[in-house]
Amino acid sequence: MNHKITQIFVPSAVDSAAASTFALANKSIAAFDADGNSNLGATPAVPASFKLVFGTGTNNKFGTFKTSVIKQSNILSVTKTNADLTVTQQVSYIGWDEASAATPVFKCDEEYVVTLKIDEYWSKGIYQPLIQESVVVKTACCSECGGDCDALSASTYMTAIVTKINASPLLSKYVVASLVSSGSNYGVKLVGKALDEFGNACVPDAVPYVFNLVRFKVKVHEGPYNTQDFDIEDACAAWTITYATNVKYPIGAKAAMAEMERHYFRNNLPNVAEARYYWNPIYNEDVNQFLYVDDYTAATGFEMYEITYLEDSPVGFENKSKNTHSIIILSEEGGAGEAGIRAFINALTGFSFVD
């Protein structure tokens, strides 16, 4: 968790008409003066100090949710993160990469050792620092090859590499291998898997939103060697390893934002037992309707604004205990209030964020 994040607001619109913090429409946001008496409007002109207020509906027994006083002079940063829901797994190639000719040459009476080094968060607790596993392909004996002994069938042995990787109880949990070919070009395509916190393959948009993408490196050498250092591969006959696509996590996805809100939103609530519902995943029912991400369709995710600021020290402790806080404002991409919320943030902070 990022402990400087203090509150998360998920507004659908700016309420510039509410005369008091208690009159804010449900799921609306407004800026009030430091005393909380005057609404600063839809486009407040960089006020010297203000409070952000989030409307939770007139029936909410805890009232509206408010930040502490934010002074312009105490603002450390204001950032905007755009939503991008694309997810990519790592894709790497051994040999031909479906573009450039790089089929390896197989000689008779040789062993070819393909070693993968895998970096995966949940597994590091067991396989430290990285997972390392090899598969070995033995070519035909020179006495049996029957010609072209220094250029055996690449298809046969590349297929054997694919079969052995996919049959490995360890490697098959992290990567999927497949044969790619065109004419005399052959390669092995390796694609990483998304894993859950138990190391099992998972669906990235599943709930709870906890998954980890797999990163890996590949080395190939001829064996047997009298060392376990597979980085000593023959530089004169090195196989081509192509790292085509890197991993990418989605940004602003609804399921992820719902998990984040559940972890942090209790900071809006009084220090009472009920506040514990909102970080404990056992409680899946939002009985008091304090969580808001799920109210939105958010087919293209949420854009996120983060205002990081210093909170003044209590009287008597000046310059001794200033705390850093961040207020997160999530705005539905494509929502009816998206442009208004962006204009509100720009006017409030003096920034010029665009869609």
Q: What is the pLDDT of residues 70-95, one digit of tens each?
A: 999 999 999 999 999 988 999 999 99
Enumerate the H helices of 76-185 as residue ranges.
154-167
In a domain, 236, yes or no: yes
Same domain assignment for residues 112 and 203: yes
User: In angstroms, how far is the first alpha carbon of the chain from the final one?
Assistant: 28
Same domain assignment for residues 199 and 275: no
Same domain assignment for residues 106 and 164: yes
* pLDDT tens digit sequence for 246-266: 999 889 999 889 888 877 776
Same domain assignment for residues 226 and 108: yes
- Which of 245, 273, 295 is a domain's end point? 245
Q: Is residue 323 within a helix (H) or strand (E), and if so which, with residue range?
A: strand 323-332
Q: Which two tokens stand for residue 297?
A: 């369709």
* pLDDT tens digit sequence for 204-223: 766 566 778 899 999 887 76
Same domain assignment for residues 168 and 223: yes
Distance CA 212, CA 179 (A): 25
Confidence class for position 238, pLDDT limits 50, 70, 90: confident
Same domain assignment for residues 224 and 265: no
pTM: 0.78
Confidence class for position 1, pLDDT limits 50, 70, 90: very low
Segments forming the whole domain that contains residue 140: 91-245
Distance CA 82, CA 94 (A): 35
pLDDT score at 124: 74
- Which of 188, 210, 245 is a domain's end point? 245
Instruction: Tell me what the mean pLDDT of segment 168-179 comes to.
Output: 94
Residue 236 main-chain phi, psi, to 5 deg: -80, -15
pLDDT score at 6: 80
Distance CA 312, CA 298 (A): 36
pLDDT score at 101: 87
Selected residue with higher pLDDT from 127 and 89: 89
pLDDT score at 146: 66
- Which of 205, 223, 245 is a domain's end point? 245
Average pLDDT for the chain: 84
In a domain, 235, yes or no: yes
Same domain assignment for residues 103 and 235: yes
Same domain assignment for residues 139 and 230: yes
pLDDT score at 183: 92
Query: Looking at the 3D structure of the chain, how many domains does it have?
Result: 2
Minimum mean pLDDT range among 78-82, 172-176, 259-263, 294-298: 259-263
Q: Which two tokens stand for residue 1?
A: 């968790």
Same domain assignment for residues 123 and 228: yes
In the block, residue with structure tokens 């004169």: 236
Q: Which two tokens stand for residue 127?
A: 């396989």
pLDDT score at 269: 67
In a domain, 354, yes or no: no
Confidence class for position 287, pLDDT limits 50, 70, 90: low
Confidence class for position 234, pLDDT limits 50, 70, 90: low
Instruction: Tell me what the mean pLDDT of segment 312-325 comes to.
Output: 73
